[in-house]
Chain A
Amino acid sequence: MSAKVYLKRAKDGELVQATLCDQITQNHLDQWETTWIPEMKAFAKQRSSASGPEDAHWDWRGKVGKGATFLSHCSFALESNGNLQGMMMANTVVSARLPEQFGKPLVYIEYLATAPWNRPETSNPSRLRGIGSAFVLTAIELSIDEGFKGRVGLHSLSEAEDFYEVKCGMTRLGPDGAHQDLTYFELTETQAESFRRNI
């Protein structure tokens, strides 16, 4: 199943239609391997860095394969112009940590990444904006469908903390030693509603 979403092209502000698929398929994984990885490697070479972006070595095929058999796991892919623009994996058996919603189930975003050509450091004028927001909205809607009232949690990559705290309105709970000190964020029911209403 899929849903229609829109992304904004950086160079001219034009809205581009995209498709949010409610499952990462083999086709998506093939695209990840044949288009994302070479682009990340090229970027790394250009910057004389051995590693490239923070998620350059993520094994999406392994992660999706591992989660596929579990009811608790959901995956999503964002496509536009026939190209894979972003991917997300979520888990629905994780409990909230914020005191006001402690122990209540939420949608935990295990992984979220955009295609390398959409990232700010590439300076690609045709990069698409709004992918993170589309996925956060997807997680909120999934949370509502599951009866979790919009509660969402995630561990942010270090450079994305501002996006989640300031632009999405999530609550920062601090570095988590059990997750390589990545900062953990949560969205409450009220914050989710504000996000959905675009406040």
Chain B
Amino acid sequence: MKEYPKEWFARRADIEGDAEVGAGIPPTHRSTYTRPPPPDAIDTRIALGQFVELWRRNKGWNPERLANEAGIDTSEILEIEQDPHCSPEPSAIFKLAHVFGVPPRRLLEIAGLVNDRTPLLRESAIRFAATSKPISSLSEEEREALEAFVAALSASTKS
């Protein structure tokens, strides 16, 4: 790079001051622009929230532990679990899919973040949401529902 005089840098540092200067896609970015969810996403988001909660309770993890494992905010875990109207960040869903060992695309679909929806997956999600209840320890019924839903998420992507 061509050499610039000290004065150039001094003036630019004064202009820059204490500004934030980061650029690029951060994994934990929360945009100020809120994209409205697709009209039928609320159903599957209820399932998403319950799935996240049951999965971590099955592991004996609190929300903070799951957040640390996934590398996302604890507040995001809580929003996903409790508020089906919240629009989760795609990067957060991607990271959770990795922790859960399920295909990211499927979880993004349940989160209402992709346009192409798989009808069978939506049905599985609604069935799961109907049978699972958020109580402190998993009942046998909840455990079975959880396993069936994981199987549905992991089903062949050729459909």
Chain A interface (Cβ within 8 Å of chain B)?
3-8, 10, 15, 20, 22, 49-51, 53-58, 89, 109-114, 119-120, 127, 129-135, 137-138, 141-142, 154-160, 162-164, 167, 175, 177, 179-182, 198
Question: Among A89, A120, A180, which residue has its beta carbon within 8 angstroms of that of B20?
Answer: A120
Q: Mark B1-42, 1 if CB is under 8 A from A, else 0.
A: 111101011111111111111111111110111010000000
A162 to B8 CA separation, bound complex (whole angstroms): 21
Given A51-B72, A56-B28: A112 and B16 interface contact (C-beta under 8 Å):
no
B23 and A111 within 8 A (CB): yes
List, sorted by A's number, 11 A–B pairs whose CB atoms are closer than 8 Å: A50-B75, A51-B72, A111-B24, A133-B12, A133-B13, A158-B29, A167-B19, A175-B33, A179-B25, A181-B32, A182-B29
A134 and B3 within 8 A (CB): no
Chain B interface (Cβ within 8 Å of chain A)?
1-4, 6, 8-29, 31-33, 35, 64, 67-68, 71-75, 89-91
A51 and B22 within 8 A (CB): no
Point out the residues of chain A lying under 8 angstroms from B18, CB to CB.
10, 120, 127, 129
Question: Among B4, B24, B27, which residue has its beta carbon within 8 angstroms of that of A155?
Answer: B24
